[in-house]
Structure formats: structure tokens, C-alpha cells
Structure 1
Amino acid sequence: MTREPLTLVGNAKGGTISVLRLHEGELVPLLTNSVGAGCSTFAVDAARGLVYSATTAPTPAIITLTLDAATGELAEIARTDIPDALAYLTLSREGTLLLGASYHGGWGAVWPITEGTVGEATARVEYANLHCVITDPAGLHAYFVSLGAGLIAQYELDADGRLAPLSPSTVAAPEGSGPRHLILGGAGTDAYLVTEYSGEVIRYARDRSSGVLTAQEVLEVFDPTIGLKHSRFGADPRAEHLIWGADLHLARDERYLLASERSGSTVATVELDEGGVLGRVVALWSTEQQPRGFGVAPDGVAVVVAGEASGAVALGTVDPDGSVTPRQRVETGAGPNWVRFA
């Protein structure tokens, strides 16, 4: 019997991670755990029952927590101090490597993991305002997204956590677009980027052998009816009514791509063809206020959106036509902004 997935929600302002069970199409709250201020990104090793969370107090650190799948309890077992707060964490190489990106520090790193303990960094890269880092499923290539420099830095990643730049070492995003989060399609031949300032999704073709990305089509994914304007570094999107792109994920066997925009509080559904090419926006879901982060469940149908300004998450289901049907709203804590499944 397949275990029902757990949904973990990071409530950054409250310093907590809420654990909910996705049971028969409904979110059932289990426990909200106090883990430390600034827990705005975490990575889940479901096979080992471990969670790696970034925190900011008393000093920036990565903490390792055990996850009790029955009760939702998280218990700290290790802590590794780091120079600056992290904006993104991801696991690779079957949970033996942890990669992180520091927005305010302007650096990214790779750390080895031994029995849940994060070791000394084996590699470090430096680009302005790094917002995301991912690897391909095999952990052979790593991609760091720099909002400040407007690019994706691409590397070969070895089993020991060392990085070697690819050729070319970077691939540009459109000038002034504000590249933010990146994901790969399951076949490994496509990468999708959401931009913060222009509210676009960009597809990059990926060479599976070399790992090199090449820019392809671009599509706007914000609400065109509410008069949002192009944003820029250092602007206040709320005060100036600016585009504020945030997160993206694939759904329904990669037939659709979902992307969130915070000023309009929407999640757009983009249709993909059989080759992964971007089609048109087929639906726009008005959801929780300021949807900074969200996640799509392992079934590819259930989607959980965190409203950074609402203190709650919304559960919806992606219908066959790409529209999202709202199902439930659950309050989780102050400043929810990160969603992952276990």
C-alpha cells in the first residue's frame, strides 16, 4: 500500500514548519514544529526521513531534522553554521550532497552529507543575488540562477561534490527579466525558468550529455487585466503595482506548467506539447495572497499554494483541461512561503 504523502510548509516569519497529510483529497494538519526563524527553504530526504532546513537565528545555519511520518514531528539532530542566509536548498546524488544558494550573500555551495550531518563545503560559486540551485536527476550537472547577474551558471557535478564549469559556463536570461527559479522536465531535455521582474516563463533546451542549456521560447504568465508593470531590482512591487514572479512546477505528467505571480496572487497554467514546448496560458487561478512558493503533489494533480501574506495554504486540483479547482484552505502560520512533499 502506498503511503499518503506528507505536505511540509515553511512559515518563515513564524519560524515553523507545518506538516500535513494529504488524505483522500484533503489536507489533514498533523503538527506545526518550531524550527527557527527564517526557515524559508528546506529540502526533504523522504527515503531517510530527514529534512534539511535553512534558518537565520541565532546565526545562519543549516539544521538537520528527523521527520516522524506518523505524527509529523520534526526533531533537530545536527546543525551546520554558514556565512549567510539561504534562499534555496536542494538534495542530489541520492541524498549524499546538499546544494544551496544565498541571495544576500551572493554565493552558492555544495556540501557532503554523512548520516544526516552536513560537512564542510566542497565547492563554492559567486554570483550576485543567487536565488535557486538545482541538479539533474542523476546529479551530473548543477545550475545556479543569479537574479542579480541575469544568468544561469552551469556546472558539471561529481560524486565528491566538486563543480567544474561547462562550456559555456553561463547562459543569459533576457536583460532585466530577473531570473528566479528553475526546474527540469523529467526527460532531462528541457529546463523552465520563471522570471521575477517580467513575469515570464522561459524554456531552455538541455543537452543531456553536456548539460548545456540553450534558450528557446518565452511566455508571459501574469494576469494581463490588472495593469501590472515591469519590475526592477530594489523596487517595491506592492507599492508600485509591479510584476512579481515567484515559483513554478510541472503537473499532470508534464502536460502543464504552473507558475505563480505575487502581486496579482495568481497561479497560471501553461499547456506543454509532447516535446515540452510552451503553448498558451489556459487558466489563471486566483489564490492565496502573495503566493511566493507552492508545490505539486507526487500524483501531479494536487497543488498546494502558500500565501506569504495570508498565513495559509490553498489546496487545489489540476483538472484535465488545465484549470485548477480550489478544494481547501488551511491556516499554517506566519509568512508561509515554501512547500515540499515527503
Structure 2
Amino acid sequence: MFSKLVMGLCAISMLSSACTTRNASQLRAENELTMLVGTYTTGNSKGIYTFRFNQETGETTPLEVTEVSNPSYLTLSSDNRFVYAVSEENDSSASVHAFAFDEDQGSLKLLNSHKTMGEDPCYVATDGKKVLTANYSGGTMSIFPIRYDGSLDPADTLFEGSASGPDKDRQATPHIHCTVFSPDSNYIFASDFSADRILRYAINVKEELPRPLSETVDVEPGSGPRHLIFSKNGKFAYLINELSGKVIAFAYTDGRLNQIQTITADTLHARGSADIHLSPDGRYLYASNRLKNDGIAIFEVNPEKGTLAKAGYQLTGAHPRNFNITPNGKYLLVACRDSNLIQVFARDITSGLLKDTGKDIIIDKPVCIQFTNRQ
């Protein structure tokens, strides 16, 4: 009797231990993301680097390296099966690449590449049917249809920006800096940097291609509009302006952006504001500044009105061109190009403020951070 009782207790103990191990393993898997980092390859970098990032602990494990020239911006398909990355070259070799992506291994397999027909592509976006590239020096937006296997057809549409801004040095020629799909999937917006405006194109549902320009949204002359993002509920949009250092808040309805506020992110007027992101819960907005007082401006978001209020400022390494926030909102990672590292900041979800964890990821000239999508 005693022997059976001991055996029963042992079995329960072993089962409990196995369950604990499985739970720990499952929890680790849920918390671990695959992270992709785009770089400039003018130094020691080889191209796109992948890592395993634990969004609970902030720990990073290197995975793979894929050689590609100057992949300064990249994006993933919604199902994480494909990656689209630009090669930011200042000549006719400027390209966009389609990769098959193994999320578990962090490996990329090149499917094909096409010329962007515009120099210095610096941004790429996809809706699963099309890939957009913003070609900065070319002053154009290119559109590539996606094939059934995730590869790309050559660009079949090219829209051009213009140059009418007052800055004779920075706005002398057309520059398109960002191309995004609207949250309702009916429009494409492009930041026309040198004309101080946002271009809007309606998507032809039948042909799934943009129709000619239907509207522009003008901003203050000399602003240099750079990156545009939308709130998760699709009611608001936010634009970071590189030259003015200001964030503009818009109300969004059926393709129309109506300005509701302007607030300064770069108080030193360094003319180098770069990237902008909302926290996953939409309560805080972050904007990066370069050239002076390099860091991240932090704003609290009014959820009903969409307006912003200053909440703080976090200094970073040199030239924080791009940054990203983990899906659980616990960490904010900053690609500090000229410090050759990615800083990992812990994020206070209540105050929105940041604290450097010291868990730097050493990498040459990082300029883009993307996490795999959570379904």
C-alpha cells in the first residue's frame, strides 16, 4: 500500500514537473520574437541580421546574416512568410528584394529583385498584394505587384513628387520619404518631402492599383514631411517633419486627413527628426531626433481627441534614425547608426518614459528594426 502511494506521488510529481517544463517552454516561445535589422553596408556590416529577442527579459540571441547591399529599410508580410527590403543605392542599381523568410531559423532566401527606377529607396511597405518603395533621391514612389509565391513583378506604376519648398539646400529636388497604406486599405499616402505635402492616391479595387493623384495635404512650408503613421483604431494619423522638427496630428476619415494639432519634438531645431511610432496600447507617441541632443521625444496621447501632450525626452546614442517597440510594449529599441549599436530601453507602460537596460546589441550601422508580426 505504502509502495503504491509513493509511486502515485512520484507520478504526480513527474507530471507536475513535465507540465511546468512545458508551460515554461510555451511561455518562452510566446515571448520570443524574431527581429530583423537592416544596415548600411559601407562599413563592416554584411546586410540583414536576424536575432531572437525575448520581449519579457530584453535578452537577444543572434541568428543569421544575409548579404545584401545597404538594406536600409525592410518590412514583413502579415503572415511572416516574406520579407521585402530595399537596397539604398544612389544610382541605377537601386533595388527592392523579395525574400522567403523562415521565422524559426531567422533565415532569408532571395526570391527575386527589381530596380526601383528611382535612386536611394529608403522605405518599403506592403499590403500583401503590392509593395511600395519611397525613392528619396529619385523623388518617386514605385509600386510592385506581388506574385502568388511572394516574389515581385517589375514596377508597373511610378508616381513623382515635386520640389517647391523654401529650403534651397534640402528641398532643391523632389524627395519621397515614406509610402503607407491607409488603415481602411482604400488609399496610399506618400510624404512629398520637398513640396511640404502628403500625396494621396485612391486604390482601384478592381485592378488593385492606385488611381492618379486625387488630393494633397499641405503642411507648413519648410517642414520636410518624413514619416506618417496611423493609430490602431484608424481614427488618427501622425506625421513627423524632419526639417521643422514638429509632429502634426490629424483626424482621419475616409481618405481625408484633417489637421488637429502641431507640437514640437525637436526643441533645438537641429533639422534632423526621423522616425515616429505609437505604443501598442496607443497611449504614447515617440519621435526620434538627430544631429543635436540625439534622442526620443515622448508624448502622451489623448485617446478621444488624438491630441498630444509632452511627457518626456530620452537621450540615445548617435543618429537614432529608426526605432521600434515590442508588441507587448515592454521595450523600445533604437537603431543608433553612428554609435554602431541598438539600444534596448525598458518602457514604463504607465508613464511612457524609457530607461536604458544596458543590453546593447553591437552591430555596424543599424538603421532599421522590425519584429515578426503577432497574429
Comparing 293-302 and 245-254, the one that deviates more: 293-302
1:28 aligned onto 2:60 = yes
Larger radius of gyration: 2
What does residue 256 of structure 1 align with? 284
| Equivalent-residue separation in structure 2 for 1:328 and 1:32 (angstroms) | 23
Other-structure match for 2:13? none
State whether residues 112 and 161 of structure 1, in contact with CA within 8 Å, keep that contact through their aligned partners in structure 2. Answer: no
Identify which of structures 1 and 2 has the higher relative contact order when contacts are C-alpha pairs closer than 8 Å and 6+ apart: 1
- Is the 2:288–2:294 Cα contact (8 Å) retained in structure 1? yes
1:6 aligns with 2:34: yes
User: Mind listing any 5+ residue stretches in structure 1 that lack a counterpart?
Assistant: 230-241
The one of 330, 335, 360 aligned to 1:306: 335
The question of 1:297 aligning with 2:343 is answered no
Identify the match of residue 70 of structure 2 among 35, 38, 43: 38
1:72 aligned residue: 106
Unaligned runs of 5+ in 2: 1-25, 162-173
The alpha-carbon deviation at position 32 of structure 1 amounts to: 4.6
Pick the aligned partner of 2:117 from 83, 86, 92: 83
Identity of aligned residues (%): 26
Q: Does 1:340 align with 2:373?
A: no
Is 1:47–2:79 an aligned residue pair?
yes
Aligned residues of 1:166 and 1:212 also touching (Cα < 8 A):
no
Partner of 2:258, secondary structure, is: strand
Which structure has more helix as a fraction of its residues? 2
Map 1:1-342 → 2, pairs under 5 A: 2=30, 4-13=32-41, 14-23=45-54, 24-56=56-88, 59-84=93-118, 85-92=120-127, 95-114=128-147, 115-127=149-161, 128-159=174-205, 160-165=207-212, 167=214, 169-207=215-253, 209=254, 211-222=255-266, 224=267, 228-229=268-269, 242-263=270-291, 264-319=293-348, 320-342=350-372
Deviations 1:1-29 (A, max 9, x none): 53622221111233412212221322313
SS of residue in 2 equivalent to 1:298: coil
Aligned-residue offset at 1:104:
0.5
The question of whether the paired residues in 1 share the 8 Å contact of 2:34 and 2:104 is answered with no
**TM-align CA RMSD:** 1.9
Checking the alignment, whether the CA contact within 8 Å between 1:50 and 1:65 is kept in structure 2 is yes
The amino acid of 1:126's aligned partner reads E
Q: Cα–Cα, structure 1 residues 20 and 328, in superposed 2: closer, same or farther, change >3 Å?
A: farther
Normalised by the length of structure 1, the TM-score is 0.88
Aligned partners of 2:248, 2:233: CA distance in 1, in Å?
A: 17
Q: What amino acid maps onto 1:190 in structure 2? A: F
Task: Give the aligned length.
Answer: 321
Q: CA deviation at 1:192?
A: 0.2
Deviations 1:119-161 (A, max 9, x none): 1324321002000010123421110001111110011113434
Instruction: Give the secondary structure class of the aligned counterpart of 1:34.
Output: strand
Give the whole-Å Cα distance in 2 for the aligned partners of 1:53 and 1:116: 13
Counterpart CA distance in 1 for 2:223 and 2:80 is: 38
Aligned partner letter, 2:123: Y
Tell whether the 8 Å contact from 1:100 to 1:108 is kept in structure 2 after alignment. yes
Distance 1:267 1:287 in 2: 7
